[in-house]
Each structure stands twice: as structure tokens, then as C-alpha cells.
Amino acid sequence: MIGRASILTYGCQMNEADTTDIGQALKRAGYELTRSWDQSDLVVLNTCAIREKAEDRIRGTLGHLKSLRARRPWLVVGVMGCMAAQSADYLSHEADFVIPPMEAGQLSEVLAGLPPPPGLGEEEGDLPPLEMNQETPFKRFLPIIRGCNHRCTFCVVPNTRGPEYYEPPEELFQKVGEMRDRGVLEVTLLGQTVNAYVHGGWTFATLLQEMAHRFPAVGFRFITSHPRQFSDEIIEVMATRPNVMPYLHLPLQAGSDRVLRRMKRLYTFAEYEALVGRVRSAVPDLALSTDIICGFPGETEEDFDRTLEAMKRIRFESAFMFYYSERPGTAAVNLDGKLPIPARKERLARLIRLQKDIQMEVNQSEVGRRRRCLVERTSKKDPAVMLARTPSNKGVLVPGPESLIGSYLELEIQRADSFILFASQRA
């Protein structure tokens, strides 16, 4: 071991998947991984640039690390992830190395060029080493596409992660085979627009179908889908393969066609609603989740009402809601009609209130149902209570011993609120 390293991960699941790769590169370079970043010789920040808030948090952490240097002058700080592409100039003053997502493969070379840290202090000898993903060793993310070919006008991802690159199917099958052999029970296929997958004669539908067929004991999910490219073949695979889980993350972003056009989302609300109708009728018990942005430049009160109306009509099982954040280098920066931040926040509060009520009703309809749930971990509040997930990815709290973690249970839902279900175990 040449030193201790920790990785701080921000942002999306793609970053979580990348953190696994970064961890492996660090181990190969001779580092031991630890969660205690204040006792590390090397800290890698795997960053996010999607909204200003994410960048602010990371700037704060970089400030913290600077003050840590007073005690550990040999500390090396590296920045990876989307902020490394979006704010490279600023970071070059704050970090020892900056590697943007499209050059992530260079990490090993960079590590090899670092000066070795001084010998370990006695007092640090007994820190527990960290296995990556130790909390849920039976769930894994698998990136199948890198980058994004869309040009949504609010989004930095095409700038930070570049155009789409598709991982070869045979490599993907091999990786899932290895995961299964190590006891992984659920695999989530990842891509910014996961359903855009193409490789040779393969499409996303045929890839998903073949995955489900080759690995019948593994449950498959996939995120994120773009409504424009969601084919009937994908719906067919979801409907006919029992190990493709009934969960779909399908960002709507806005209910007004005028706003959708200005966002370059390439669909109308009517098209989106028709698609949801097709998926829901083919896949019973589907849970549909979405992303919504409010306060986009030029969004009138009437446009915003359309978003509220859309949410009432579709009744999403869950929603990630954001107010618009201006990102340097994106097309929306040049649009007129910017709203003051307090006005954006006020709309966001209304969205959240509405969705909370919808989720309460939607979750109530789960009461009395029986669901086959995977037990993930102990609940944060009570070690005698476990957190499990329904096939549609809803959280369920159930009393029980820790030994249940990693097993499937038939649970009867007894109670529900807006954010979680409560169950008892069936004898």
C-alpha cells in the first residue's frame, strides 16, 4: 500500500458507476480506499455540474480540503466528473489534477506520476478499508452508453460528456455474467438516453431482451429513457420479460408545448401522454417517475399551469423536481424571459406540494397488496427495521433482522405515506 485514498461522489448514477472504476484504478495504483477523507493522502472528487447548487457544494468541499492541507501538506486533490469539463479553469487552481469524463481513462497514468505520500502515521493504522458499494453488494449499475447526442437547451451533459458512445454488447454480457457470479441480484443499465443504444445490429430493445434471456435470475432496470426514442419493441420486452422490472424513468420536463420546444425536447405533451398510456397498459403495476423543470426562461404562469395539469393527468409515482439553473455554455443562456430566482423557487414549491399529494394517493393504493421485495439495508433510524424495495422500486420499511439483507421477501403493504410504504412479513 502506498497511501490511503477516498472518493467523494456527487450527482447521478453514472457518477456512482464511474466511482467503482475510479476505485479500481486507485487500488491498482496501490492505494487503500477509506471513507475517512480527512485522513487520506489522496482525495478524488467525482463531481457534478448539472445545476449551480451542485457546483456550489463542491466548491465548499474544495475549500475544506485546502484547510486540511495545513495538517497534511502532501495531500493530493484530484477532480473528475462533469465539473472537470465545465469549470476546468477554476479547478486548475484548486486541484492537483483535473480529468474530464471523456478522458477518464487517463487516471492510471496520472496516478503513476504522483509523488508517493510519506509513510503512514501510527494513529491511522487501524482504519477499516473500504470495499466499494459495500452497502448493497447485490445491486449494480452498468453504463451501456456514455455521453448524449441530444441538445436539450438547459443541459450541460452534451458539453461535459461528449457524444454518445455505445459499449459493445459482448462486453456487457460478460460484465453482467461476472456480476451474477458474485451474487448481484439486480442490474441497472445506465445511459443519459439509455434507450438510444445501438451497436451493429443491436438496439436497446434487443439488448435488453437478450440480457433478460441470458440472465433469468437477475432483475433488470434501466435509466434514463428519452420519450422521443421509446419504441414499441422496448414496451414489448418490458411486458413479456418477467425479470425486466416494472419501473420507468421518463423525464417530461414541462407540460407546455411552447416550453418543450424552447427546451428542444422533441415531443409534445400529447405525444408523451400517449406513450405513457401505451406503456401503462402493457405493463401492469408500472411505476413511472419523471424529471420536471420549472421557471425555464420565458415560462409564463399559463405555461407553468400546464405542467401542474400534466402532473395531475399522468400521476407520476415519483418525480424529481428542479427550478431552472442557468449553465454556462448551454443554449438556454441566450433565451429571453429569465425569471427571478424567488419566482422559480415559488413555482418549485407548488410543484412539490402537488406531487406530494399525488404520491400520497398513489401510495395508498398499494395498501393491502402483496409485493415481492428485495431487502436492501437496515433503516437509518431503527436497526430493527429493514428497508426493502418493491419491483417498481418503491421503498418499504419492514421490521426484521439484518440477516434478511440481500433476500427477497413476500411483503404485504399495510400503510403508506407520500414517500414510503410500511409492511409486515407474511408467514
Residues forming contacts to ligand SAH in the complex (CB under 6 A) are 12, 50-51, 154-155, 157, 192-193, 224, 251, 253, 291, 293, 322, 324-325, 327
- Give which of ligand F3S, ligand SAH, none residue 51 binds (C-beta under 5 to 8 Å, depending on kind): ligand SAH
Which residues form the interface with ligand F3S (CB under 6 A)?
Answer: 148, 150, 152, 155, 157-158, 192-193, 226
Q: Which helix (H) or strand (E) holds 64?
A: helix 52-68
Relative to beta strand 42-47, strand 3-9 is: parallel
CB-facing half-sphere around the CA of 310: CA atoms within 13 A:
29
For ligand F3S, give the closer residue by CB, 148 or 218.
148
For ligand SAH, give the closer residue by CB, 37 or 222.
222
**Closest CB 201 distance from ligand SAH, rounded Å:** 25
- Give which of ligand SAH, ligand F3S, none residue 393 binds (C-beta under 5 to 8 Å, depending on kind): none
**Closest CB 291 distance from ligand SAH, rounded Å:** 3
For ligand F3S, give the closer residue by CB, 267 or 316.
267
For ligand F3S, give the closer residue by CB, 8 or 157.
157
- Give which of ligand SAH, ligand F3S, none residue 293 binds (C-beta under 5 to 8 Å, depending on kind): ligand SAH
For ligand SAH, give the closer residue by CB, 139 or 265.
265
For ligand SAH, give the closer residue by CB, 145 or 244.
145
User: Distance between CA atoms of 252 and 223, rounded to whole angstroms?
Assistant: 14
- Give which of ligand SAH, ligand F3S, none residue 256 binds (C-beta under 5 to 8 Å, depending on kind): none
- Within 264-340, residue ranges assigned H as helices are 269-282, 301-314
- Give which of ligand SAH, ligand F3S, none residue 159 binds (C-beta under 5 to 8 Å, depending on kind): none
- Give which of ligand SAH, ligand F3S, none residue 271 binds (C-beta under 5 to 8 Å, depending on kind): none
CB 100 within 8 A of CB 160: yes
Vertex 16 angle, CA 1 and 292, to 5°: 160
End-to-end Cα spacing for the chain: 49
Report residue 418 CA to chain centroid gap.
21
For ligand F3S, give the closer residue by CB, 155 or 319.
155
For ligand SAH, give the closer residue by CB, 224 or 363.
224
Relative to beta strand 76-81, strand 97-98 is: parallel
**Closest CB 204 distance from ligand SAH, rounded Å:** 14
- Give which of ligand SAH, ligand F3S, none residue 221 binds (C-beta under 5 to 8 Å, depending on kind): none
**Closest CB 149 distance from ligand F3S, rounded Å:** 8
**Closest CB 273 distance from ligand F3S, rounded Å:** 19
- Give which of ligand SAH, ligand F3S, none residue 158 binds (C-beta under 5 to 8 Å, depending on kind): ligand F3S
User: Distance between CA atoms of 95 and 59, rounded to whole angstroms?
Assistant: 11
**Closest CB 138 distance from ligand F3S, rounded Å:** 28
Tell me how far CA of residue 49 lies from CA of 54, 158, 174, 268, 328, in angstroms.
Answer: 6, 12, 32, 27, 10
CB 424 within 8 A of CB 414: yes
316, burial (CB in 10 Å: exposed 0-12, middle 13-18, buried 19+): buried
**Closest CB 13 distance from ligand SAH, rounded Å:** 8
Contacts within 8 Å (CB) and 24+ apart, 344-347:
344/294, 344/295, 345/295, 347/294, 347/295, 347/299, 347/304, 347/323
**Closest CB 377 distance from ligand SAH, rounded Å:** 24
**Closest CB 50 distance from ligand SAH, rounded Å:** 5
- Give which of ligand SAH, ligand F3S, none residue 204 binds (C-beta under 5 to 8 Å, depending on kind): none
User: Distance between CA atoms of 17 and 104, rounded to whole angstroms?
Assistant: 12
381-416 as b/e, with b when 16 or more CB fall inside 10 Å? eeeeebbbbbbbbbebbbebeeebbeeebebebeeb
**Closest CB 157 distance from ligand SAH, rounded Å:** 6
CB 77 within 8 A of CB 63: no
For ligand SAH, give the closer residue by CB, 259 or 405.
259
For ligand F3S, give the closer residue by CB, 82 or 91.
82
C-alpha cell at 133: 458499494
User: Distance between CA atoms of 241 and 104, rounded to whole angstroms?
Assistant: 35
